[in-house]
Amino acid sequence: MFVAGLAQENRVRHDVFSPTFPIGTSSFLVPARHDQTELLDQGEGSLEDVRANLEEMWRLNQAFAGVRSLTRYLRPQRHLHNQPVRIVDLGTGSGKLALHLMHWAKRHDLTLHVYPLDLSPRNLSVAQDNIKSHPAIHLVQADGVALPFAPHSVDYYISSLFMHHFSPEALINLLRETYRLAHRGIVMSDIVRGYLPLAAFRVVQPIFARHFLTRHDGILSIKRAYTPPELAEMARAAGIEHARVYSHFPWRMTLVADKPDV
């Protein structure tokens, strides 16, 4: 059964997190991590504001390696040729990543079914307009910490600019649960916290972040983000033995965790 009852299939563990080094602390090039809810997640702005913000975030994601940092690690997976492949895009926002994946799959002669997932009705409304009833894209309204999918019914759980929304303990549970549910693995990309990306974001604001939601939440996203060593530590705490964290120019990182052959 593809979609399972939440009570039976989503038993999130809440183990005590004991890192080998402090998560979210400051250093010479990295500020201490902040954990404040972004304006978009607080429901600020109209639907048109949401649409403008998500469009700018998509442009930023394309321009600064966010999309490439996902597809470059999906492409080598030989399991993608075991057709069709089911992918869940966590925290999809505008839904444009799902559309990009469909075009990418067509170029590589792959067959995908993509399930863009988001909790926000406003985000899903924008995503529905962007997707326009694509037959292989299936929007899902659900919480990323209470996933409505049976174990192994989804091949890959992916995300872009999603992990920084979680505290360390919550992110460990997310990584543990998605890896448990996935048939093949997880591929998740995010911004890296640091003073340099903060400065760079302020420089590109006149071009890429003209809307007030993008300007405010973009800065906050960088302050809420993690570093590659922190992400690797949390994957270890989640019990994912073979997780790898890759860094990408200028300030992106991708967590890749493949499951052994089944």
Question: What digits encode the pLDDT tens for the residues 97-140?
Answer: 999 999 999 988 889 999 999 999 999 999 999 998 899 999 99
Q: What is the CATH number of domain 37-258?
A: 3.40.50.150
Contact between residue 113 and residue 86 where contact means Cβ atoms under 8 Å apart: yes
Q: What is the pLDDT of residue 262?
A: 55
pLDDT, mean over the chain: 90
Residue spans of the domains in the chain: they are 37-258
pTM of the shown model: 0.90
Taking the C-alpha atoms of residue 87 and residue 71, their distance in angstroms, rounded to an integer, is: 12
The span from the CA of 192 to the CA of 190, in Å, is 7
Is 80 exceeded by the pLDDT of residue 178? yes
3-class DSSP state of 74: helix
Measured between alpha carbons, how far is 193 from 205 in angstroms, rounded to an integer?
17
